[in-house]
Structure 1
Amino acid sequence: MGPGVTCPWSGRLPRLRVRTWIEPVVASTQVASSLYDAGLLLVVKASFGGGGSSNHSASPSPRGALEDQQQRAISNFYIVYNLVVGLTPLLSAYGLGWLSDRYHRKISICVSLLGFLLSRLGLLLKVLLDWPVEMLYGAAALNGLCGGFSAFWSGVMALGSLGSSEGRRSVRLILIDLILGLAGFCGSMASGHLFKQMAGHSGQGLILTACSVSCATFALFYSLLVLKVPESVAKPRQELPSVDTVSGTVGTYRSLDPDQLDKQSVVGHLPSPGKAKPPKTIIALLFVGAIIYDLAVVGTVDVMPLFVLREPLRWNQVQVGYGMAAGYTIFITSFLGVLVFSRCFRDTTMIMIGMVSFGSGALLLAFVKETYMFYIARAVMMFALIPITTIRSAMSKLIKGSSYGKVFVILQLSLALTGVVTSTMYNKIYQLTMDTFVGTCFALSSFLSFLAIIPIGIVAYKQVSWSPYGDITEK
């Protein structure tokens, strides 16, 4: 029972402890998701216009009437699809999080993975049997009723937080995100090539969707039969000077376990009620910052596939896969950013760096005319993943370990709900502006990203003006 349980990549670990690593589940699930996302876009595109990439031969209209009609059809499909994906988890995700906290940590992960598998099977059946695209709404509903990504990712974050100390938690969680990004990169790079493996309208996408189903099946059975819940990493409680200090969220906030507040006699004196405010205000501000920033990110991600299919880029299947893969490189750069920035910056500073990075990239994306400009904008977004991950880490330092499942799922459901509104709004804005200024949605995302800095800046200010343990942090 040594301390090596903190991180799966360091120290000498007993053989059985490998089974506590969540990374194989995250990797296989994300490969399945990246293949599914690319396959869904290309299958829907083929359903709404067949010829797709060679539209300019069918109509002499200057703006390409057929292309605009196809874009609106795809956009309308995604409006309904994203509504189903975003709203149905509200019925089950919180209950799964509660059950995970109360009974077993794997409940939310395993049930949501069952939904993932069912939705991937739905796309495979659509390709095999040439069913109408509307049946994919039903597959998405099954996924959502099983908790969807909200339940899955909150379960993953809970396991990652339990198996790491507070001092290493930001790095631990961003490491899981790195695995997610690497898996998504590999899946996206292969997706365009796999989609073209079988010729003919009915056969295209069969191998791609079959690979997605296989990866989702592996993730489900691995989580059921192999994965074990890690033991919570105990923090030293007898030595006051060695208590971790949160390098961020609340400045000099000392991260004593909330469950052990009654044992603070070792501190010397308790925080005075007049000076020590509860962390609810900090948590609320972190929630607000996360939601506003997520509005910007979700809006950009939802519109980007439509943007690259039409003029001025007009990408084919392989280029679509490469473009999606470029989006996953931010998982690598954000991981490296956290490793470097966490040594010299507070959590709030890292969050604001990520928001500035994404906002600047989104603004450049609004004026993209060539493919190389798209990749430059993506490169500027290199730290875009830092904010949400660091906010999760910051919250985990302010709540009890027994509440991780509920709090993380509330945050994830809040992001999912706002994402539903954002998806509908952005798709409608895109339809209205694609003939005038196609980058309107990206400019709006840039504004929202910079706006999200305000609540995080207030948290940073409270770091200086507020300390929950009185004058002890100044001694």
Structure 2
Amino acid sequence: MGPEATCSCCGYLTRLQVRTWIEPVVASTQVASSLYDAGLLLVLKESFADRASTNHSASPTPRDALEDQQQKAISNFYIIYNLVTGLTPLLPAFGLGWLSDRYHRKISLCVALLGLLLCRLGLLFKVLWDWPVEVLYWAVGLNGLCGGVSAYWSGVVALGSLGSSEGRRSVRLIFIDLILGLAGFCGSMVSGHLFQQTSGGPWKGLVLTACSVSCASFAFLYSLLVLKVPQSAAKARKAPPAVDTVSGTVGTYRTLDPDEPERPGVVGHPLSPRKAKPQKTIIALLFLGAILYDMAVVGTVDVMSLFVLRAPLHWNQVQVGYGMAAGYMIFITSFLGVLLFSRCFRDTTMIMIGMVSFGSGAFLLTFVKYTYMFYIARAVMLFALIPITTIRSVMSKLIKDSSYGKVFVILQLSLTVTWVVTSTMYNELYQLTLDKFVGTCFALSSFLSFLAIVPIGIVAYKQASWAKHADDTEK
């Protein structure tokens, strides 16, 4: 009876542990998002093409002029769309983060997923009943009032951090990004084919948007009914407050074993009051590096979706899906990069490697004239995902786990505000340089990516100073 009881208990604990995995939510949500992003772009292209052809029948216009009008119309739509997307979640996301810290970790995640589902339903209804594209502003606004991506991703990062030890947190978070990338790759690869299923009928994109809504529904129901908060979160609340240390900021991840003990000379060395203030400086520098780098990434991604639709590339629906899928490959290469680099480099070194990778790829995009050149530039960006994920990992080691919700949501909101401002600026710049030098936006992104290395380099210098001080104290 004893062994049977033990096996039964182990089986229950195993099932319970599986229910703490956030990966099913991330995967299904990202498939829904990748289908939605491709569907939104293609639906906008069809809608504005119909408007342009109607105007063209009334007053003949050269084909290039029609194409430029369509590009500007899509760009103007995204300016307002991104403003609504970025500004509406500001207060709701922070409130949800506070509620998650105080009451239950799943509050932020579940409410945000409900908003994402409602937003996907908005695109489905637009396709079904041929609503004007402006109705999508209301759909994404409703999503923002539920916390939007800021509340969703801060909830994902908080649950992922609670379910891992400091020694493998970078690997844990980049693995979540890997799942996100694989799901996005699969969704993007099939998006163009799904859109073509009804491209010739009155409901263009119906199959694509219906699939997006189905995946979003699964993610919401799974997070609400199945997902459990990791047990380590409850244990952490009962544990006595730990003394602040410099562990995790001066050490390197030379092993993927979470149970391997840290070096006593580094882990056990408490921060003196004189060194408590520089820790806040480190967090501020990490914020600055993340914001500068996010500006570069957002600007490139926003302009890229428009760039591939016009000359010289002129991509069709299937090629657009393949191009988006290529963007998701960096999740796989970045994951492999972290596995490799974490054995011999500090976190800050990995961050700078990722920034150099993206900056170099953005510079190559400046001169793209053929499809193969586009994919070469994307290949150079193979480590572009490492910086933001690793910055989150470093921050998680500088704060208490009871503050994860607030700090991560503040970081996510900072990136969201950056995204709103950058998206508006880049879309305006793209329209101004459309007839002159279309690669101007990519050149600016390359500059910002390399500029973001400066604050991270300062962090690396301070970490080295702390490590030297710890070694001297140990001697």
TM-score in terms of structure 2 length: 0.88
One-letter code aligned to 2:163: G
Matches within 5 A, 1:45-84: 45-50=45-50, 61=62, 64-84=64-84
3-state SS of 1:14 partner: helix
Question: How far has the Cα of 1:267 moved from its partner?
Answer: 8.4
One-letter code aligned to 1:142: L
Q: Per-residue CA shift, 1:167-210, capped at 9, x if unaligned? A: 00000000000000000000000000000101435221000000
3-state SS of 1:20 partner: coil
Q: For 1:468 and 1:153, how far apart are their aligned partners in 2?
A: 36
Q: For 2:126 and 2:376, how far apart are their aligned partners in 1?
A: 36
Q: For 2:473 and 2:444, how far apart are their aligned partners in 1?
A: 41
Q: For 2:396 and 2:336, how far apart are their aligned partners in 1?
A: 21
Question: How far has the Cα of 1:155 moved from its partner?
Answer: 0.3
Q: For 1:376 and 1:357, how far apart are their aligned partners in 2?
A: 12
Aligned to 1:151: 151
Question: How far has the Cα of 1:343 moved from its partner?
Answer: 0.2
Aligned to 1:121: 121
Deviates more, 1:284-293 or 1:272-281: 272-281
Aligned to 2:318: 318
1:343 and 1:314, CA in 2 relative to 1: closer, same or farther beyond 3 A?
Answer: same
Question: How far has the Cα of 1:285 moved from its partner?
Answer: 0.3
Aligned to 2:226: 226
Q: For 1:130 and 1:364, how far apart are their aligned partners in 2?
A: 40
3-state SS of 2:349 partner: helix
Aligned to 1:346: 346
1:13 and 1:326, CA in 2 relative to 1: closer, same or farther beyond 3 A?
Answer: farther
TM-score in terms of structure 1 length: 0.88
- Contact 1:198/1:205 (<8 A) preserved: yes
One-letter code aligned to 2:363: L
- Contact 1:59/1:65 (<8 A) preserved: no
1:269 and 1:142, CA in 2 relative to 1: closer, same or farther beyond 3 A?
Answer: closer
Matches within 5 A, 1:151-190: 151-190=151-190
Question: How far has the Cα of 1:91 moved from its partner?
Answer: 2.3
Q: For 1:268 and 1:138, how far apart are their aligned partners in 2?
A: 53
Question: How far has the Cα of 1:272 moved from its partner?
Answer: 3.9
1:272 and 1:217, CA in 2 relative to 1: closer, same or farther beyond 3 A?
Answer: closer
Aligned to 2:440: 440
Q: Per-residue CA shift, 1:214-245, capped at 9, x if unaligned? A: 0000000000100000022779x99x9xx994
1:183 and 1:52, CA in 2 relative to 1: closer, same or farther beyond 3 A?
Answer: farther
- Contact 1:94/1:151 (<8 A) preserved: yes
How many residues align? The count is 446
- Contact 1:166/1:244 (<8 A) preserved: no
3-state SS of 1:419 partner: helix
Q: For 1:395 and 1:39, how far apart are their aligned partners in 2?
A: 35
- Contact 2:252/2:342 (<8 A) preserved: no
Give the percent of matched residue pairs that are identical in Structure 1 and Structure 2. 80
Aligned to 2:30: 30
Question: How far has the Cα of 1:275 moved from its partner?
Answer: 5.1
Q: For 1:394 and 1:204, how far apart are their aligned partners in 2?
A: 45
Q: For 2:211 and 2:268, how far apart are their aligned partners in 1?
A: 60
One-letter code aligned to 2:200: G
Q: For 1:405 and 1:319, how far apart are their aligned partners in 2?
A: 39
Q: For 1:88 and 1:184, how far apart are their aligned partners in 2?
A: 25
**2:91 aligned with 1:91:** yes
Matches within 5 A, 1:182-331: 182-200=182-200, 202-232=202-232, 245-246=247-248, 249-250=249-250, 271-274=271-274, 277-331=277-331
- Higher share in helix: 2
In structure 2, runs of 5+ residues without a counterpart are: 1-11, 254-263
CA root-mean-square deviation:
2.8
Question: How far has the Cα of 1:16 moved from its partner?
Answer: 2.1
One-letter code aligned to 2:75: S
- Contact 1:251/1:464 (<8 A) preserved: no
Q: For 2:350 and 2:267, how far apart are their aligned partners in 1?
A: 30
Q: Per-residue CA shift, 1:73-115, capped at 9, x if unaligned? A: 0000000000000000102000000000000000000000000
3-state SS of 1:309 partner: coil
Question: How far has the Cα of 1:279 moved from its partner?
Answer: 1.0
Question: How far has the Cα of 1:50 moved from its partner?
Answer: 2.7
- Contact 2:101/2:403 (<8 A) preserved: yes
Question: How far has the Cα of 1:298 moved from its partner?
Answer: 0.4
Question: How far has the Cα of 1:471 moved from its partner?
Answer: 5.1
1:77 and 1:391, CA in 2 relative to 1: closer, same or farther beyond 3 A?
Answer: same
In structure 1, runs of 5+ residues without a counterpart are: 1-11, 254-263
